[in-house]
Amino acid sequence: MSATPANEANVLITLVLKHHAGLTLDDVQAKLKASGWWERFPVEGTRVVSWTVAMGLGQIVTLEVPPHLLGQVNLELERSAWGVFTTECYPTYDFVPVRERIQERVRQGGQ
C-alpha cells in the first residue's frame, strides 16, 4: 500500500533564519514584503509550533509539516527568504516526553 497524504505522519522541521549582517531592519522588512513572505510563509497545510527571535542570530521557526509538503516549504524559503536570511533546516522532534521517561527511569534507580 502506498502512502497518501491522509495517512502520513507529520514531521517537525526547525528552520534557522540568520539575518544578513549588511541589512537594516527596514531593508529586511522591504525585501520580505516584496517577496510575499508574509503571505506565502508558512505554507498552507503546515503548522507553526514555535517562532522565536534570537537576538544577534535571527529567527528560529519550528514547523509541523506533512511530508508531502516538505518540497513546498523548501520552495517558499527559496522564493521569499533567500536574500534576507541564510537558511538552515533540521529535522527535529519533541524531546519533552523522552526526557520525562528518562527522568522517571532515573527516579526508579535506572539509567
Among 24, 16, 89, CA closest to 57: 16
Q: Which residues contact 53 (CB under 8 A, 6 or more apart)?
A: 59, 60
Query: Where does the pLDDT of residue 17 fall: very low under 50, low under 70, confident under 90, or very high at 90 and above?
Result: very high
pLDDT tens figures, 31-75: 999 999 999 999 999 999 999 999 989 999 999 999 999 999 999
Residue range 7-107 in CATH 3.40.50.150 = no
Per-residue model confidence (pLDDT) at position 3: 47
Grid coordinates representing 16 are: 534557522
Q: What pLDDT is stored for residue 1 in this prediction?
A: 41
Euclidean distance between CA atoms 10 and 90, whole angstroms: 14
* Predicted local distance difference test score (pLDDT) of residue 5: 54
Q: Read off the pLDDT band of 6 (50, 70, 90).
A: low
Q: Please state the rounded mean pLDDT for residues 13-17.
A: 97
pLDDT in tens, 76-99: 999 999 989 999 999 998 899 999
d(CA 40, CA 57): 23
For the chain, give every domain's residue range: 7-107
Note the pLDDT of residue 4.
45
